Structure 1
């Protein structure tokens, strides 16, 4: 059901929802940008509608709400283990269509991949998603090519137009909160074209691993892992044991984001390591995003948000790399 409300109405609703939920949305963090005196837009807790940044892309994705950068799993002593407490409140997350598609990928990995991840599930099952429309495409976005520019699997959709706020509510629990006498038909804003377009070749196979195209990234990539950390569908982590005492009898185990681009990711016992070459790491990531994931799930892992292109300090473009796959396949075929 669609409704027209005022910003004051929405702020009252946010205040009411805050009793049971922590509300996350893209917001401005002043002075926390890459360079001096620059700001950064990323996810944080909001208490009013005007805190939400609607007209710019969040530089980091929503995923740190469902999968914290560093998450304590349990505490231990010499003879006991105590599970870390679950969040006391649920989460309401404002996000765009591409990121809502990314939630589906996260669910694939953590809930439908052979077993359910207990720590992810207890956060995920208490999360609701409010869609933010996109009137215009942002720089480096290629969601239309990845077919993630539209999504109707939201709990609610919200659009601000001056002092008016238009909402479409699908969730019964939220319906009673947003219900208003002034009802109308509200449809989400979706982009239908991006300036950046990608084309994944129909004949793409693992033969492309033999292409010379990957050598470019051996020279350019610095293995910082930023592309992985801003990506809404990268889900890898490593484990850390934090000891409280010198004798190591008490502490906590945490899982912490990891990156297939960063040194040490493939280290094994005995000093062995796979993919020491940075081009090989780029190859692994690209083929995971647009080849093998689709073979299992029926759709690509990449959702075309373009954050990887936005954040790379070496100006490496993931979308350009994807578009080189066609020539890479031709090169390999010609060499055989």
Structure 2
């Protein structure tokens, strides 16, 4: 902590632009932005994370369709390249990265940190290298969106940020600064403010997470794994993986070696996103395949999000952002699934 901790300022639209430009001199600015006519349908937009240059490009009114996890866990990452018997690691952009994100996503980053840096006592070097450059700028979220359930998951608030923002319709902003480095970039003469970020207190789609003891007892009963509640997902889920790829805490990946026809001695090894809903995720040598039914995949994901991770690390893995509900083409609701599990356990069926 230092003398500049928790200093807040009100910036007019013009001053906010100056502040952004000052930040750009040191940081890459990574934030949700709108891509027109790039959404699910031809007349809809896509909101996803990308490098931005001005405050106007920052989309703060709507929830992004994808999470900011690509900042530390790219969807398609070259680990190393090889030429004959030699190999080299590709160059990376080592500039500090300031990520603008909501409280649920900051908590999501915490879950990724646990998986890649603490799980099994081994730090993933590729994740670690990118994560070391990341700084958080909190986007205030005063109320939940329709499909959010972060309050139920205990991820609606956070104290893990260096800057917090409340952006106004006229382009002005209130900014809370918690580091000397960022404070020095505030335009001279900026007015002081009493701003402190607020957090949602009510969910758009509340969930009732079953207690660990009840889940433990259910797991010991084979009837739970074969329960008819999972059959519905076998019929509806099409195994597209959109829920996995939009989720801020899904961390599964596969690796592949790519060689080139022109010179098979030259190629690279890549880390590529994978997910429990995607076909061939559980394929093994000898033709063995686990969880062939999509309902079994839904059961695996559900138990991982609300049971396995919590039992091991003491906190919920799912952060309740609701993106899986938003992105599913079959309108499958994960919040409804959690509530169905809770109701099933309570009724003892």
Q: Tell me the TM-score normalised to structure 1 length.
A: 0.95
Task: Find the aligned partners of 2:334 and 2:342 in 1 and give their Cα distance.
Answer: 14
Runs of 4 or more, structure 1, over 6 Å off, are: none
Tell me the secondary structure at the aligned position of residue 112 of structure 1: helix
Match of 1:172 in 2: 180
Compare 274-283 and 29-38 and name the one that shifted more.
29-38
2:296 aligns with 280
Matched, 1:243 2:272: no
- 2-structure distance, mates of 1:18, 1:117: 29
Tell me the equivalent position of 2:127.
120
Kindly report which structure 2 residues correspond to 1:172-321, keeping only aligned pairs within 5 A, or say none. 172-178=180-186, 181=189, 182-202=191-211, 203-205=214-216, 206=219, 207=221, 208-246=224-262, 248-321=264-337
Distance in 2 (CA, whole Å) between partners of 1:173 and 1:260 is 41
Question: Does the Cα contact within 8 Å between 2:94 and 2:133 map onto a contact in 1?
Answer: no
Q: CA deviation at 1:22?
A: 1.5
Task: Map Cα deviations across residues 288-315 of structure 1 (whole Å, 9 max, x no partner).
Answer: 0000100111111000000000010111
| Distance in 2 (alpha carbons) for counterparts of 1:42 and 1:106 | 19
Aligned partner (choices 36, 52, 60) of residue 42 of structure 2: 36
Q: Superposed, which structure 2 residues align to 1:11-50 within 5 Å?
A: 11-50=17-56
SS in 1 for 2:271: strand
Cα distance in 2 for partners of 1:19, 1:252 equals 33
User: Does the CA contact (< 8 Å) of 2:84 and 2:265 recur in 1?
Assistant: yes
1:247-277 deviation per Cα after TM superposition (whole angstroms, max 9, x unaligned): 5211011101101101100111111111111
**Segment of structure 1 superposing worse, 267-276 or 169-178:** 169-178
Report the number of matched residues.
Answer: 333
In structure 2, distance between residues paired with 1:158 and 1:235? 28
The separation in 1 between residues aligned to 2:204 and 2:52, in whole angstroms, is 31
